[in-house]
Amino acid sequence: MLLKRDNFIIWDPNEVIYRAGEPSHEAYLIMEGSVELFTAEGLRLNRIGANEILGETSLLLDTERTVTAIASPVGTKATRIPRQYFVDIAKRDKVTAALIRKIQFRLIDSNKQSNMLGLEIENIAHLFEELIQQESPDSAMIARLRGRLDTVRQQVVIDRHLAAYPNIQANATENEENAENFG
């Protein structure tokens, strides 16, 4: 099965493409723009761009969507990849199909671990803020800890607000810097 060249879809800036937990019907090959991927809890996992595929995991594993996908601030254009495309690949080559499934399971596990790490960092940050309220905020140790925690928080971007309300643009420059620091 060949992909149809006229089977494009265009998403508006910051449009939700799909949300974690929704059923999956097709995957997408990004042609222009990019897509931000978030866990259901709002941890930013990745930004993918032109010539990359999104939505394939849930099709290959026949599950609900595992992440929330949001179009870039300038919009995104993609080619639809129907479920049958992946079914045909699996029928033709069982080894490739098994390898792809294994990689997808590893990706899901990695996303879950990243999400747990991000949530734990948030918990530590809240505990740290409580400690600051109890101690002298001028303490040199607290200042150093706060600086290090801020650095880690910037590297592990949790943006629940953006994941829940993508049409309200967060500071794009900050997000790009965080992506560079993280990867």
Number of separate domains in the chain: 1
> What is the pLDDT, as a whole number, of residue 116?
79
Closest CA to 35 of 4, 61, 9: 9
- Please indicate, yes or no, if residue 171 is contained in any of the structural domains: yes
Q: How far apart are CA 120 and CA 123, in angstroms?
A: 5
What is the widest separation between alpha-carbon atoms in the chain? 67
Q: Are strands 26-38 and 53-54 parallel, antiparallel or unpaired?
A: antiparallel
**Is residue 149 within 8 Å of 128, Cβ to Cβ?**
yes
Residues with Cβ within 8 Å of residue 146, at least 6 apart in sequence? 128, 132
- Please indicate, yes or no, if residue 28 is contained in any of the structural domains: yes
Residue 125: CATH number of its domain: 2.60.120.10
Quick check: pTM over 0.75? no
- Please indicate, yes or no, if residue 13 is contained in any of the structural domains: yes
Q: How far apart are CA 85 and CA 3, in angstroms?
A: 8
Helix, strand or coil for residue 107? helix
- Please indicate, yes or no, if residue 44 is contained in any of the structural domains: yes
pLDDT tens track of the chain, all 183 residues?
444 556 889 999 999 999 999 999 999 999 999 999 998 888 888 899 999 999 988 888 888 898 999 999 999 999 999 988 888 888 898 887 788 778 777 877 877 777 777 777 777 777 777 777 776 655 776 777 777 777 776 666 555 555 555 554 444 444 444 444 333
Domain membership of residue 86 as a residue range = 1-178
> What is the pLDDT, as a whole number, of residue 155?
64
- Please indicate, yes or no, if residue 183 is contained in any of the structural domains: no
